[in-house]
Structure 1
């Protein structure tokens, strides 16, 4: 394997995360890998991403290289998977770097470097008799002088018996004589090996499974030793072979091949090296000393002794039990902030002297929107849309969204409709022997294993047979998901700042973070609202009971404990394969009629005019437009009648790029139309 070419891709704009970089480079990267496959048939690829990191505390900036592993690519069908695996490896390395508390922060990504190496694979091998090695060497290998086509079999046998032959006969000619190994031919199963040759990628895996022997094959190209096949089998016995091809001038022939046994990997692979090296027998990495090799082996390939394996007690083993979280919520909250920029006019003395970052603008919330969606019998409908652009935006946001969450959770816990199952449903329930969620077998011995008629509390329809434990856990709803697109790096920071500085009434805050700047989930609990008790049984007067509990909270059952309201803030961008604009561009082609929620939102979106949800109107809302952050100096810019900002206001402050005429015209069309 040798490096064929080294490509470098420079992004059109400054990227600040690996996902955006690979999204931008995806199309040219696929073409590059396809062209490389057409030329070399099989290649090895590695990604390297130079990242500019800065440390405000030490006033330092340096470039770090986050690299993926070398990955094999044999056909076009594996390109997408290779890009995904490479990007994931780079992201994981960056996350580990950040999570170790290094205090270094990613400022920008310079480029994407792609290293491509050719990989010559010998698949169909036609073995012949003895062939000499293509280079001079006296140690580290055993070249058996056979005249038949059983060189592979002799190498496998010699790997086990060559030391015994050497001890008995004490001559090199005896070691290379096949007659001393022929007697042990029945010690191994060679049924999968053909008489005239073998397929390295089809026959060797079968041989490994039949004999529990790992076989790794090396070969040579341009006076270099290359690995043809690496064994992934975890076995006590490992055999290293060297494949020789007869040279017809400068051309290697696959018609005449010969296997040679490598008896000492360190000596064999160090040919031509002035310094001795030591190779790992499992991953074949090279180390300059035996101490480094032993340290690597102890940490990466620890020896496992079967007698010392202790299996956990089945009663205390790890298992998944929160099955209620796998079911869809009947209500979902969608939210978003719009912000305006405050230009920072602090003198140089007011800036942080330890940081080289110059603060130009600060973002302040100007307005927010909250959309409540109800999922009912495979259909969705809008319950309410709340828009606010007044003073104290963040505090008002928490008041509104917690009030909405309280109303939704109260509705869930107070609703318990029940419709008598049909005869077929009853028969299905009688025949059921285990819970449809957790799989626990029904039993009358324990209370949690009792069979229950699990039904939808909204529709009252029978769903399936569930155990008592799952049936009760499904009803205990204490939190509501609140989803905002691409909020992990922006909108959630606004919420966290408000929680820590503006006295938002919270009792518990839990965060699931990828790094110090990116958050996957934010859970906020407030004690301002108390959820009502569950309506556990159905009766004809359940509405009166609900009204009674609402008006007389002091008369709740003695066993009831007050429960606080919890909202889990999530980022929908983490669950998409591409950007939202690309998703819309694909789905809206002749499918605008399918966006039912957009149509249902028209009465809420337009307060001053009435618009019908026609195909034209829906299409205009399903396209991404640029946002004039430079012109948005206050919430008044969002008010109706405010003139459209000029084109320069849509420029990107970071790299100075301007919007195109087409993009600016699209903004004018949307604003003037609505």
Structure 2
């Protein structure tokens, strides 16, 4: 199915080329290109109907917007030019409907840019069309709307080492959700909401992106998608009993109101506290007499809290909820945190009459016990410390709790210092690891070879609906899966491997039935491991002499039990001596990976819907992260087997055809052994991807055709291209050599070949990785996850996790990305090597420099590892400029400091191009925070000591050290970086070269993994009831959703509780240290080679610098 997406992309390039190079002589081609666009839009809509990959969905939505844009623009080119009135003037934006679900309660539309060059005018016109469309959406279901927007644009940047050419790429940017309660909102207020939540937010995201993403610059505005979600907002009203565990703490006052105003009564109980009868309404003054509730409607919603605070300026509120960890265990987490805490402050608890146990997250919601909605109720938290105390510690001393992150301190002074950073950086509950927790390699079971792996693919037929012109949209029938094939590969006994294929209308049902059978069959191999074979004399000698555990590779000490480890599958052979504990844990996971290559929306859509609903057992989703992909796992009921659906493209990011071309004939072991009845001539025809008439195969009857379709039937309407003659001859040769009787047999052979090619390609990849990195890739979701574990295993490093919340915030404060800035607005080279050289003007050159492997170099330096400590006041006072300058770069102990620095005036001219100490701040007159390189003095600036030494050497003045953290450091990451560098040098093909480069780069990405961005994903198949779509869309932590089907949707929720369990300090150090190399090159090489009046820095982007040099 990936070929369809590739064809769509090729078609888009062709359409763009036609539009950009159009001249009147091409007028006869206009209809042809409009037809091409219509065909592509049809296929895009089919793909959008089911993509499980969020990245694919967003890419296709962007392409749809571009196609619609070019359709309108090309249509205009064919019209005669006549005088027009103002009303008839050409539109610059146009609306199109895209997808809907749950009877249009959830919908996505797109505003297509037709002529705007600037963001300001584009967003202005977007608001005009949005303000009209929103009323139509409201008219269908008179419920509040939760909205978010997705901006799509094309960005360009120079090709490395070639400043004449540009590479382009589309990126999308998603806003946060905001709520519109009524369609009666005045236009001025609606515009204010739009500007604040869409325009300002996206402008900031774009600024951040251009700073952080290595030189991408906005080139073309494509579209703005509108995701509208009709949802019944959470409304807290009449009395609900507190859970027993919470009630027993005596920390919450729960007023027994029988009206819908629990919010008002909870505030009244907080402002007029009582020691007796505190649960009675009659004990308190009427809430409306003591507070301003003008235009606040009951039952109260969280969306009205900011408005209430604004109307009551002397009062601030925090709202908390409960997370149910188990049947009788609840923890507290913030749902709403005030932006301005007042002296008169109230903490409220919003409870509900039913809680989903957190252990059931990420499941298909199939609980039909009740269609009654969950009820909510507000209470007053009288004592937050008492409520949260037992959730945080068993210590019975008085705690001082931060009401933002719910972390505790032993004194009010420490809490006050903590709140300074926490207020700026945090909006949820933060949990920290226990002291002494480390990140190190623990998953030794991944050293084993996966016993069973499945490889799959499917093919589809397409049948169309008619266009629906009345709603400005086009609807088409979904793809029908016509065949599916899988290869079950057993790595220990090839007789258990098997290839199966099914063609027919029930093939997906057949596939799910096969999974049930396979789960039952494989369970026996996990339940009844092979007994160990008696050891040979040589093995017995080896066992007796063994001093190290072959599993964890550490010594077997005196007093530790040494046991014999053996293979539980196949032979039962002895594997080595082991610790008893290691041996007991060294079991193959009961997870069976199922690989599809480029697991596109087509493949996954058909499978996930059927598997989620037709087979008993829960489904979990891999939460979306920066990799932007969702994999899913099916837990098979009544077995321990889990089927994990994974995209092999996340490991091998090239086409199957290209990957197959890198293998030799002897490398296709699976294909050759599975099809061993074929001749070598026949097999050699199959070791390349076949040729298939995708668009011709649009009805079942064509499978009965008894001859290969004519060459023109392989014509792609998507890309308007024929297949090459050589490919058609290959198809003819396959038909003839295999004595194929009809297109059904040809289709089966094509699908079988794809599955077996994938099996061989991925098996060769696995074997190479196991040889070089010793871990089994099939146990992982993606290459980044794989390389991180390989690094931990190879280096044997133990990285301390920070348990001090203020250390964590300190490190986060020091994270600053690569520097991207334009230093000189315009430059034009003029020298004797140019054709248009002007000898009357000064000679000048433009020099592009690129720091090769910048992050690889930084990762090879001394990096923080363990023993993190706050420096005492006395040690901080002992740190002077002189003592800091004497600290070696490779010292055993490193420092990260919070300092005040003065930037002397006499340095300003010399440092004007790249000032030291970039910081996040607002530029003069700006609204948004950017990463700026300025000549201003710095206050409380968090910096690595190597960068500080460089600053001081360059002349900056250290005024004060506020805080500092010391740590043990070493070059612990260098061996792994060097390993991949050596392997890349020995690589035999482009894929391997890119793979080893990826393993190093992705490893740096894992050091920067931000757990705050992690999400929970819920799959929902119904609208109403407890834990249906309406429930999750109404939650305050709702982020976004993806429509897969009319009654299947994934809903993304931000986490209200986060475990800070990543070594962010490593990424922070790598970023800082990498900057020292760039500064060193500029100041200690370029400035020493050229006088200031002979050199200008034009542009800087993370690892590259562009100069203008005034010389011959």
TM-score (norm 1): 0.46
Greater relative contact order (Cα 8 A, min sep 6): structure 1 or 2?
2
TM-score (norm 2): 0.29
Point out the structure with the larger helix share.
2
Q: Greater Rg, structure 1 or structure 2?
A: 1
